[in-house]
Structure 1
Amino acid sequence: MAELLNDAEVTAALAGLPEWRREGDAIVRTVKLPTFPDAIALVDRVAQAAEARNHHPDIDIRWRTLTFVCSTHAMGGITELDVHLAQEIDRLAAT
């Protein structure tokens, strides 16, 4: 199981994830897409990537605005799994 990141490690990780912010024991990003179908297509791409990693974000869908929340629930906070998933979400959101 992945180890929890300390505050300094989370801050360092967020320096490489400029679209993300920390909210308590999670990292969060909001993405606004041009259309609702575009938003759902991104959700589908993220779902496939998350399933392959067996590590899943919480996703809030509000029309064409998506909010991704990454936290390792079993560990009670942020781990490298969340950082890597956030990087993948950024990559997928850019395509």
Structure 2
Amino acid sequence: MSKLTAQEIETKLLRFPDWEYYDNAIHAEFEFENFKDCFSAMSRIAFECEALNHHPNWTNVYNVLTITLSTHDAGGVTMKDFNLAEAIEHIVEPEE
């Protein structure tokens, strides 16, 4: 998987308004109603991570989940990161 250019990343981020690009990674922060809802989303995301064989750097403080995605083998952001970001978006913000 090859590393995307900054321009490619910025273009792809147009579809992901919750995400930002800095420090050679894409980042998002999601706030939930409570800890239980946040932890539930993290559990569902974990299954997607395993299915895609791609794992985020993330932190959880009470009802806030902070996620950083970068493909370490490629030395930056790749399509693998955007594929996982898309899966995360479907989990944390399901379409009505």
Q: Give 4+ residue runs of structure 1 displaced > 4 Å after superposition.
A: none
CA distance in 2, matches of 1:61, 1:19: 17
CA distance in 1, matches of 2:62, 2:40: 12
Which SS does the other structure have where 2:40 is aligned?
helix
Match in the other structure for 1:87 = 86
Match in the other structure for 1:23 = 22
1:22-70 CA-partner distances (Å, limit 9, x unpaired): 1211000000000101000000000000001101111111111000111
CA distance in 2, matches of 1:58, 1:46: 12
Which stretches in structure 1 are left out of the alignment for 5+ residues? none
Match in the other structure for 2:49 = 50
Aligned residues: 94
Match in the other structure for 1:64 = 63
TM-score, normalising length: structure 1: 0.95
TM-score, normalising length: structure 2: 0.94
